[in-house]
Amino acid sequence: MVKVNRLFLQIIFCFALVFFSGKAKADEIQSMALIQGLEAYRNGDWESASLFLRKAVADSENSTAECWYILVLSQMYSENYAQAVNDANTFIRDFSDSELLPYVEYQKGRALHYLGQNDSAALILSDFCHQNPEDAMYPSGLYWLAECFYDDYNFETARSLYEKITADFPGSVKAQDAQFKLDLIAQREREQKLLYLLKMTGEEYLNSREHYEKQLREYQAGDLVSLRKQLNAANARIAELEKENEGNIAELNSIIKEQQAQLMEQKSINQAYESARSEVPQNVQVEVHKKNSSIDEELATLKTKAAQIQNLLDEKNNGK
């Protein structure tokens, strides 16, 4: 937290302690809460200081600008920002002509910033800086004004204020903090550029991938259409061949049946021949035997042809 000028605080504190201690001797118990509050403040016990000073200012004799100012500081140091704003408003209302008014407004601006009310805080801190350009608290006022813009992501305005602090007030208590925030802003800008490049690269990758997948789908669709055409042509050719084979098979079956009929007829003739041969004289049998040999040769030839035809049919049927 930002502390006001130490020398100034010491003067105020000594004045208040001497003044009110003397008053305490005169009024005894009336000013005991004020003395305890000032002691707690000097010891850095901010919560106790706030408690005792609250009791002290309840007495009209102790309700002075100095006492209220120390109460506001105690609230700020104890991080009770909402109450600090309320006490600052009381001070501004009751002590508008006090020399401490700019410092109370400065603390009110800081308290509003911590409460997240950056618009209101920026207005108050801007007025403080505008009205007190020569004050020792001016660099701190610039810093907290820059913090309001920084928290609202207005990094350009915040950076200009931080740069003014580091350039014009390098020895101030806020110069180092301002430089740190400048480094953060620069780092954030680098990160934003990197994120932008990653985003652009990612979009290009997605576009390329979508284009590739689209082409792949088109190629696959084209291949599918081509395969379907080839399949339809093959099915048509198979149907044509089956139709042609139906005629060939019917013709072959007719030939086989004819050959089988001839074989059956020849078998009947042979049986009749064997039956009659026993009754025929020997010389006639010799002549008949010769004829039968000729017939047997013809039958063997027919059987061979029938076997060839059967093989051809088997091949056709297996091919189908």
DSSP characters for 272-307? HHHHHHTTS-HHHHHHHHHHHHHHHHHHHHHHHHHH
More confident residue, 85 or 9: 85
Half-sphere exposure of 169 (CA within 13 A, CB side): 22
For 243, the 3-state DSSP assignment is helix
The pLDDT value recorded for residue 224 is 64
Give the contacts of 116 (CB within 8 A, at least 6 positions apart).
151
**Which position has the token pair 């001070």?**
91
CB atoms within 10 A of CB 95: 18
| 302 contacts: CB under 8 Å, gap ≥ 6 | 259, 262, 263
pLDDT of 154 higher than 80 = yes
Average pLDDT, the chain: 79
Q: Region 86-93: what's the mean pLDDT?
A: 96
Residue 30 has pLDDT above 50, yes or no: no
pTM reported for the whole predicted model: 0.57
Query: Cβ contacts of residue 50 below 8 Å, gap of 6+?
Result: 37, 71, 74, 75, 78, 80, 83
125 has pLDDT over 70: yes
The b/e string for 203-221 (b: 16+ C-beta within 10 A; e otherwise) is eeeeeeeeeeeeeeeeeee
